[in-house]
Structure formats: C-alpha cells, structure tokens
Amino acid sequence: MFITDIIGRGLISRSVGNNLENEERDVLAVKDGLSHAGFFSFDDNPAEPHGIITREMDDGIKSFQKSKGLKIDGRLFPKGETEGALVQEMRGSTGFKGRNTEVILPESQEVLKQEKKPNPEPKRRHHEPHEKFRICKKLRIRLANEQLSLESLHKKLTGLLQEEQTALDRWKEAYENYRKVSYEATFNTTIGLVGKGASSLFTGLPTMLYEQNKVEDAKKKRDLAKEHYEGMKLSIQYTQQSMRDKVKKIDKLEQEIRESGC
C-alpha cells in the first residue's frame, strides 16, 4: 500500500488506538503519518518499525489531537476527525518523509524479497532527515508530551482539591457528632444510676453498654473521616510536587529548543 494511495482514499480501514482493532497495516500507516507531522519518531525505538501500538505512538496521537484542537482520546477511526486531520497534514506537504514509502504485511515480505533486485551499493534514503531537523523533532515531541501530562495533572489536582474540601466537612461533622454522642452517653448513664439508687448497678448495666457502643461507633466514624482527609492532603502534595517537576522539565526542553535553533 503506497502512501499516495493512502492519501487518496483515507489513511486507515479500521480503528486504531488502545483497545481497538489495530490492524498492522493501519498502525504502521498512522505511525508514518505521525512521523511526517513531527509527533512520532522511529529512531527512538530500535525495534521500530512494527505494527504494534506503543506508549510513544499513543502520546503522539494525543499530542497531534491537542495541536489540532480535537478531542484528546488517542484514537483514530476511518473517516473520523483525527484521521481527516492527519491526512490533510500529509496532503499539505510536497513530499512525505515518514518511515518508508510503503506498508508491508508479514505475509507479503517473502514475496517482495524474491521480487526485489539486490542493490550493488547501499544508498542513503532520500527522505532521511537532517540531523538538526531530527533533533528538533524529538525535542518538540517530548515537549508536547510533557505539556499534555502537565495538563492532566492540573485536572487531577482540581478534582483532588474539591474532594479534600468534602473530606474536611465530613471530618468536622463526624467530630461534632462524636462530642454530642459522648455528652449524651455520659448524661444518660449518670441520670440512670442516680435515679435508680442501689439497684442501678444491675438494672442500669444495659443502658451503660448501649451508650458505650454508641460512643465507640461515633469514635470510629470520626477516626475514619480524619484518616480520609489526611490521605487527600498527601495526594494533593504528591500531585503538586509532580506538577513542579513537570514544569522544570518543560522549561528545560524549551531552553534546549531555543539553544538548538529550532
């Protein structure tokens, strides 16, 4: 399948992405398109090219979707928005510079080997990128991935802050309930013992046990609410530290891009 054919009739024939159909031909075609658009590099993994979904490919799809203002889900569907945008990106160039000019399935490799004539001298591929272009492309892909990761952490932090406030309110409520139950238990037990006189040691025992169980139950709820609130605080601190680390990485990558003259 030649790239010119792909551009003419669509990039993929089946869905591509995590937990989707992921035909080998389609996965390779998407990798080629992402490489052409600057969101995937075959040089980063010595095992490439292959028709298997990778973390780098998934990040590249999401970064491309973000750059085009599309829904960021890491998925492509035939005649879908992401596929259309990637095909349009390929059409807008005078020459495709991806992994190769054709996608080869395993069952057809042996036939092609027999048909190909040996080259007397290995030639450098005409579409091999210049070293500076290759470095800049890698840096931009890494930067886009870090920015996407930072955005996800920011959304996570927003949700954690809301949950922390809810946990704090529940802890306060459980604490006030514990104080109230403790006071009522002390009052009811004291009144019961005083009112019944000497016989209260026998007749008042069920009341004492009942009030004690109420206090213990309220105490457990208070302690659980406090533990949940403190756990939320730790999660927020961890997420904030992760965001600070991401910002440092982004600043460093932006500096590398400027120094490289990209």
Per residue in 208-233, pLDDT (tens digit) is 788 889 899 999 999 999 999 999 99
Residue for token digits 């945008």? 85
Alpha-carbon gap, residue 202 to 104, rounded angstroms? 90
Helix axes 55-67, 81-91, angle to 10 degrees: 80
Q: How much is the average pLDDT of 138-164? A: 92
Looking at residue 224, its amino acid is: L
Alpha-carbon gap, residue 148 to 3, rounded angstroms? 29
The DSSP-derived string for 233-247 is HHHHHHHHHHHHHHH
Alpha-carbon gap, residue 257 to 38, rounded angstroms? 14
Higher pLDDT, 106 or 159: 159
Per residue in 19-70, pLDDT (tens digit) is 899 898 999 999 988 988 889 888 777 677 878 888 899 999 999 999 999 9
Label residue 77 by pLDDT band (50, 70, 90): very high
pLDDT of residue 42: 80
Average pLDDT value for the chain:
79
- Return the DSSP state at 101: S
Label residue 135 by pLDDT band (50, 70, 90): confident
Return the bridge partners of 2, or none.
102
In angstroms, how far apart are the furthest CA atoms of the chain? 114
Looking at residue 196, its amino acid is: K
Asked if 132 and 260 count as a contact pair (C-beta separation under 8 A), the reply is yes
pLDDT of residue 180: 92
Alpha-carbon gap, residue 76 to 17, rounded angstroms? 6
Whether the pLDDT of residue 106 is over 50: the answer is: no
Asked if 17 and 73 count as a contact pair (C-beta separation under 8 A), the reply is yes
Label residue 7 by pLDDT band (50, 70, 90): very low
Q: How much is the average pLDDT of 76-103? A: 70
Nearest alpha carbon to residue 82 among 180, 138, 126, 16: 16
pLDDT of residue 109: 47
Residue for token digits 């954690």? 160
